[in-house]
Amino acid sequence: MPRRRREKELVCPKCGSRDVEVVRTWQLVSPFPDKYGRITVTVMGMVECRSCGYRWRATISKLKIGEKGVEVEGRGGKKKVLGGEEKPRRVKEIVLDLEDLEEE
C-alpha cells in the first residue's frame, strides 16, 4: 500500500509550535524560464510564531506560468493545473462593402 504524502505545515523552528501566522507576503519572479518555457513565481512570506514570537521567512507557494496554464505547487509539493486546456476561439467575420464606404 503506497504511503500518502502529508502536506507540510508551517512549524516554528525555535519552539516547534504549529500556531503560526503569515504576517506579510511578496513575490519573486525568476528571470529565466525553465526547459518547458514556464516562468516561476515564488510566493515568500514572513511568518511569526504566536507562542514564542519568533519570526522567519518561508516559501508559501510556487506558481509556474506557461502556455498550457498555471501550475500551483503549494506546501508539501501538491500540484494543481489551472486552465490546462483552452478551447479554440471562434473567428468573427467582418464583411465590408466598399460601395457603402464611398457613399458616406
H or E segment at 73? strand 69-73
Q: Which DSSP category does 83 fall into?
A: S
User: Whole-angstrom Cα distance, residue 26 to residue 45?
Assistant: 6
Cell readout for 82 is 489551472
Check pLDDT > 60 for residue 24: yes
Terminal C-alpha separation, the chain: 78
Picking from 50, 67, 65, the residue whose alpha carbon sits closest to that of residue 10 is: 50
| Residue type, position 61, single letter | S
pLDDT in tens, 60-103: 989 898 877 788 877 655 566 666 555 666 777 878 777 777 66
For the chain, what are the domain ranges? 8-84
Burial level of 64, CB count in 10 A (0-12/13-18/19+)?
buried
47 confidence band (pLDDT: 50, 70, 90):
very high
